[in-house]
Amino acid sequence: MKITSIKTRVFEWKGHTVPPASNFCSNATDMLWRTGDSMGTFRFHDWAVVEIQTDTGIVGIGNVALAPRIAKNIIDHYLAPLVIGQDPFDYEHIWQSMYRSTIAWGRKGIGMAAISAIDIAIWDVMGKATNKPVFKLLGGRTKEKIPVYASKLYRTDLDEMQREAQSYLDQGFNMMKMRFGHGPNDGPQGVKQNLMAVEAVREVIGYDNDLMLECYMGWNLEYAKRILPKLERFEPRWLEEPVIPDDIDGYAELNQLTSIPISGGEHEFTSHGFKQLLDKRAISVIQYDTNRVGGITAARKINALAEVYSVPVIPHAGQMHNYHLTMSTLASPVAEYFPVHDVEIGNELFYYIFEGDPAPVNGYVDLDNTLPGLGLSISTKYLDHFNIIE
C-alpha cells in the first residue's frame, strides 16, 4: 500500500456562536492591559481536516485545530512531499522524516500540530487496512469502558454554574471540570470571586464527586502560590495549567508546594518535552492533546514514559484520537468529554465536522470493537454552516 495524495481543507465556522462574556475563563493574555474579548485568540472557530488517500482506495482522516490555515500550508508545501509515496505502515519512519526535516522550525507549536494531523490520518488508514479499530493496534482494550469527566463550567453567574453542575450529576457524571474567571490583575476581589465559584460548585456536587480546576495559563507563580493554600480545602483532583507552559520551574515549584496535583501539557510537544516535565517533577497529571503533541505515534511514547514515572495521562479534549489512546493504556485512567452545545470556544466544532464520537452513558464512553480505524467520518449535516477552503 502506498499513500497517493493528501488533501487538507479548512472548515471555517460561519454559523451561530455564543457571544463572549467577561471573565469567562482566565488565560495567558490576562496579564496584559487590554479591552474586548480576552479569549479571542483562544477560540477555535475553524479547523483543518486532512484526508490521506492510498492506492487501495482507503482514506484516512486527521485533523488540527491550531492555526488551521497555517497548518494547511505546512502540510501542503512541506509535509505532503515527504509522505506521498510512502507505505503508511512505515509510520515511524514517516514521523521521523517529518520531524527531522522540519526540526529547525517545526518541533513545537503549529509545525508539530500539522505533523500530528498527518500521523492521526495514517493510523486511521492502518486501522481500516487491517479492519481493526486503532485502539486494537495500540495494545487493545485495557478497560471495559472509559470513565469521562464533563468539561465546561466556564465562569458565569454562580446560580447558572450550579444548575450546569447539577445537570452533569443528573446525566450520571461523577467528575467535572470548571474554569476560573479571574487572575492576578483582578486583585483580592478576583481571588474572592474564584473561591466563591469553587465553593458554589462544591455545594452542588459535594465531595463524593471529583472536581477539577482549570486556569488555562492565566496565573503567574506569585498569584498561584497565594491562592493555592485557600483552594486546598475544596479537595480538587487537580489544578490545570496555572502558569504559562514555558515556566517549567514554576510548575515544578507549585507541584512540590501544594497537596493539589498540578496538571499540564496541553501546550507541550513530543516525548522530549514531556521527559523534561517528568524529570523535574513539574506535573502530576499529563494532559497532551494528540492532535498537537505529535499524533498517535508521539503520544504512545509519552504514555510509556508516564507509566514508568507513575504519572497519569488524561488527554486534553475528548475526541476519537484521544479516546483510542486512553482505551489502550493503563497510563490513562479517565478521559475528558466536552458536552455538545452551541459553538462557544470552538472545541465543540468536532461534533459539527465529524460523525462517530460516542455519546457518554452514565459518565462513561465506549469504543466499538467492530469499527475500523478511528471510527470517524466527515459529516454532511452542517456543511452549509462552514466556509470550506480547499
Q: Which residues are catalytic?
A: 316
Q: Are strands 335-337 and 146-151 parallel, antiparallel or unpaired?
A: parallel
Tell me the CB-side half-sphere exposure of residue 352, using CA atoms within 13 A. 25
User: What is the distance between the alpha carbons of residues 180 and 191, in angstroms, rounded to a whole number?
Assistant: 10
User: What is the distance between the alpha carbons of residues 316 and 92, in angstroms, rounded to a whole number?
Assistant: 23
User: What is the distance between the alpha carbons of residues 159 and 305, in angstroms, rounded to a whole number?
Assistant: 42
User: What is the distance between the alpha carbons of residues 197 and 179, in angstroms, rounded to a whole number?
Assistant: 9
> Cα torsion for 131, 96, 347, 232, to the nearest 10°?
110
Question: What three-state secondary structure class fits 48?
Answer: strand
C-alpha cell at position 1: 500500500
Going by the DSSP 8-state scheme, the letter that residue 236 receives in this structure is -
Closest CA to 14 of 384, 353, 390, 352: 384
